[in-house]
Amino acid sequence: MPRKRNRKEQMLAAAQYPLDWLEERSGLIGGVRYFLFRKVPGDSGWWHTLGSATLTAFLVQLGTGVILAMYYQPDPNSAYESVQHITNDVTLGWLVRGMHRWGASIFIILMFFHMARVFLFGAYKYPRELNWIVGALLLPTALLEGFSGYLLPYDQTAYWATVVGININGTAPFLGPFLASFLRGGAEIGPDTLARFYSLHMLLLPGAILGLIGLHLYLVVRLGVSSPPWSEEAAGRERDEPPPVPGTGLVNPAPRGVTKRPD
Partner 1 sequence: MEPQQGQGKPHLPPPSLWPVGFAIGIVCILVGLIVSWAAVAVGAGITVLFGFLWVRDVTGDYRHRDVGIEPAVGGPESATEGAPPVPADRGEAAMPPPEPGERFPRSVFLEGATLGLGSVIAGIVTVPIVGFSIAPIFQHQHHDEIDLGPIDNFKEGEFVTTTFLRDPSAGEISRRTAYIRNNGFVGNQPSFTVLSNRCAHLGCPVQPNGPLFEQRKLEEKTKAGEVTLIPTLPAGGFGCPCHGGQYDQEGNRTAGPPVRALDRYEFYIRSGRLTLGKTYSVSKVVGTGASAKIKKYRLAGPGQHVDGIEQWFYPLQPPS
Interface with partner 1 (CB under 8 A): 76-77, 160, 163-164, 166-168, 170-171, 173-174, 176-178, 180-182, 184-192
Q: How far is CA 106 from CA 118, 147, 154, 230, in A?
A: 18, 15, 22, 29
To the nearest whole angstrom, how small is the minimum distance from the Cβ of residue 208 to partner 1?
15
To the nearest whole angstrom, how small is the minimum distance from the Cβ of residue 181 to partner 1?
4
Give the whole-angstrom CA distance, residue 52 versus residue 170: 36
To the nearest whole angstrom, how small is the minimum distance from the Cβ of residue 174 to partner 1?
7
To the nearest whole angstrom, how small is the minimum distance from the Cβ of residue 180 to partner 1?
6
C-beta of 79 vs 213, nearer to partner 1: 79
C-beta of 16 vs 167, nearer to partner 1: 167
C-beta of 205 vs 213, nearer to partner 1: 205
C-beta of 186 vs 229, nearer to partner 1: 186
